[in-house]
């Protein structure tokens, strides 16, 4: 990370650090954007156009179409973290706060496109008490 990063890219790095190694879909307005190595992987896996901004690889998808791209990545064995805008951009001056709100894996997928309605689907949770 360079000292001359924008506040938005600093925020991206903070979200990426919390993504537990998953590919990060970072919400910017009406799009989810991916940067750096995530952009390289996502563009290749789901056939998106890879671009660059200030030498940073990037790609993006409209938020309303993101589920189909996420589904493709999950089927190919990737995990996907979603960083959403957690403030209303109309109510905020400056940078909108973003946080990782979900990490999607094959075991936690809820997309109707990936769940066979003729099969059983189970999920379990363990916790340690004390």
The vertex-71 CA angle with 69 and 76, nearest 5°, equals 100
Question: Rounded to an integer, what is the distance from CA 58 to the centroid of its chain?
Answer: 13
- Answer yes or no: is pLDDT of 124 > 70: yes
Residue 111 — pLDDT band, cuts 50, 70, 90? low
Coil vs helix vs strand at 16? helix
- Answer yes or no: is pLDDT of 47 > 60: yes
Backbone angles phi, psi at 102, to 5 degrees: -160, 140
Q: Which CATH class is domain 7-104?
A: alpha beta
């Amino acid at each position: 990370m360079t000292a001359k990063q924008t506040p938005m890219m600093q925020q991206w790095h903070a979200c990426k650090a919390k993504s537990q190694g998953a590919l990060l879909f970072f919400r910017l307005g009406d799009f989810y954007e991916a940067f750096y190595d995530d952009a390289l992987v996502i563009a290749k896996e789901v056939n998106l156009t890879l671009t660059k901004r200030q030498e940073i690889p990037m790609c993006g998808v409209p938020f309303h179409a993101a589920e189909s791209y996420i589904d493709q990545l999950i089927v190919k064995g990737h995990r996907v973290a979603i960083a959403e805008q957690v403030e209303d951009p109309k109510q905020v001056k400056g940078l909108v706060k973003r946080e990782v709100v979900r990490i999607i894996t094959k075991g936690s997928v809820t997309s109707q496109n990936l769940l066979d309605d003729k099969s059983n689907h189970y999920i379990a949770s363990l916790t340690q008490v004390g």
